[in-house]
Amino acid sequence: MGRFRVESFKIDGDYIELIQLLKATGLAQTGGHAKMIVSDGDVLRNGEVELRKRAKLIPGDKIEVGDNVFNLE
CA distances from 18 to 7, 12, 40, 52, 59 (A): 16, 14, 14, 8, 13
State how far the Cα of 61 lies from the Cα of 1, in Å rounded to an integer: 24
Domain ranges of the chain: 5-72
pLDDT of residue 8 exceeding 50, the answer is yes
The Cα 59–Cα 53 span in angstroms is 18
Number of neighbours of residue 11 by Cβ within 10 angstroms: 16
What pLDDT is attached to residue 3? Answer: 72
pLDDT tens sequence across 25-39: 999 999 999 999 999
Give the architecture (CATH level 2) of 5-72.
Roll (3.10)
> Residue 50 — very low, low, confident or very high, per pLDDT cuts 50/70/90?
very high
Q: What is the pLDDT of residue 1?
A: 47
Q: Is the predicted pLDDT of residue 2 greater than 70, yes or no?
A: no
